[in-house]
Structure formats: C-alpha cells, structure tokens
Homo-oligomer: A and B are copies of this chain.
Amino acid sequence: MGALHAGHLSLVTRSVRENDRTIASVFVNPTQFGPTEDFSRYPRPFARDRRMLIDAGVDALFAPPPAVMYPEGFETTVTVAGLTDTLCGAPSSRGPAHFAGVATVVAKLFGIVRPDRAYFGLKDFQQVRVIEQMTADLNLGVRVVRCPTVREGDGLAMSSRNAYLSVEDRALAPRLHVSLQQGVKLLLFKRNMSPKTVTGAVRNALASTKRIEIEYVELVHPISLQALKVARRPALLAAAVRIGKTRLIDNVLVT
C-alpha cells in the first residue's frame, strides 16, 4: 500500500537477492478498509515510494488506479473462513470483510504478475496466514515467503501508520512490543498456565497508561489462529491497540 518504510524495503531487498526479476505493487486497496477506517487519509507519498523502490532494485512497479483493479461490473470476492473471524477479523476489530478485501486483491495481483515467490512481512501475521491458505486452497502456484518484522531501535514494529503518531504517542508506542514480551516470558518459562494468565500479563503491562486503549490481546494457534485452550507452544501472541486515533498491531510467534 506504499508509504514505504524499512520493513517494506527488507522484502524488496530479499526478493531482489533471491529472484531474477522483482515487481513491487503500490496500491492503497479500498476494499480492505472499513467505512470508519483511514482509507482517505492513508499516506500516499508516491514519488518518494517510487524512488525508494528504484533504489532498492525493483525491475517494475505496478501502481494501478482503483478503476483498473475494480472496473464496473466487478463482482468477485475471495473469502478464507476460519482464519478471518479472530484477531483483526473479529467483529469488534476490523471484521472479516477486511481480510476478504486483502485476499481478493492479492489473488488479483498474483493473477496479474504470476510471481514464483511473493514476500510478506510477519507484522501482519494473520494477513500472511490468510494469503498462505488462499494460495494453497486455490492452487495459485506462488511460494509465499514470510519475512521477519522490522523494528525501530526501541522495538516498535515498523508501520506506515506510525507516521500518524504525535511525539508523545510515539514515545508510548514501544510499550506494545515490550508488553508482548512480558507474555512471551511466561510462555517460555512457565507451564500449564491458562491463556488468560499470558494475555492478562500483556494487558497489565499495557494498562500502565490510559492513553493506550486495548482492542485485543490473544494467544492463538499459529496455523488455525483459533484461541488456545492451554497456553503452550507453538503459539502466536498478538495484540492490537489504539494510541490516540492511531491503531497499532504487533505479535510474537513462539515456536
């Protein structure tokens, strides 16, 4: 979706290293935004994105207008059940329509580009799982490559939405990652806990300031993304918060 940062560029750099040709898409996809979300104000620094992608070595840039992706008469939606009703897909979060928008646009991009490999960042772990499952289920013949979350020096996961943060909120934002680490410590060193013990530790750590509003903290299985009944590995510990108006997500995979 453009508004590139070092996380995006790590995907491009890896693709350039591992493939003969690399194509990047820059497309702020309207169908994955809800009516109350930030589609219209989402940052679109296209000239800067273009320059960064050229400098990173892409062979082609695909930046279509919405009417090319969704012409009149467009009617098709790809849904991935099961994976999309939890975490960011819960009705109290972005909802499953968000992931229908993601799955559909990625299916289209795969159809247009026919890549051998496609690189996605694990900051959006659920998105990666949805794309992996769709790609397998529809036999799209693309290898989905998981790339590690790139973080700022203080642990904040890189995100285009970090640019929304005020100076004060930016100072609070690393607490999301720090709080998740509290839960990870429990997972690594204690046994036979309830998942609530783990998510509760994260919630407590986040509760140190009223400015951070918790949307969810969940401990789920890293394949099905369904809530674990017992806190054990492998697990994905994932959280979404709002700091002011800015929504941030992060996760840690514990294998």
Contacts and interface: CB of A to CB of B under 8 A. Distances in A.
A139 interface: yes
Given A75-B133, A75-B137, A108-B137, 16 more contacts: A75-B80, A76-B79, A76-B80, A76-B81, A76-B133, A76-B134, A76-B138, A77-B78, A77-B79, A77-B80, A78-B78, A79-B79, A107-B138, A111-B139, A111-B141, A114-B141
Contacts of A111: 138-141
A112 interface: yes
B77 A139 contact: no
Interface residues of A, number: 27
A85 to B, nearest CB: 11
A137 B76 contact: yes
A61 B74 CA distance: 32
10 contacts: A73-B224, A75-B83, A75-B137, A76-B80, A76-B103, A107-B138, A111-B138, A111-B141, A112-B139, A114-B141
A7 to B, nearest CB: 27
Contacts of A104: 138
A31 to B, nearest CB: 12
Nearest to A83: B75
A76 B77 contact: no
Interface in A200-225: 223-224
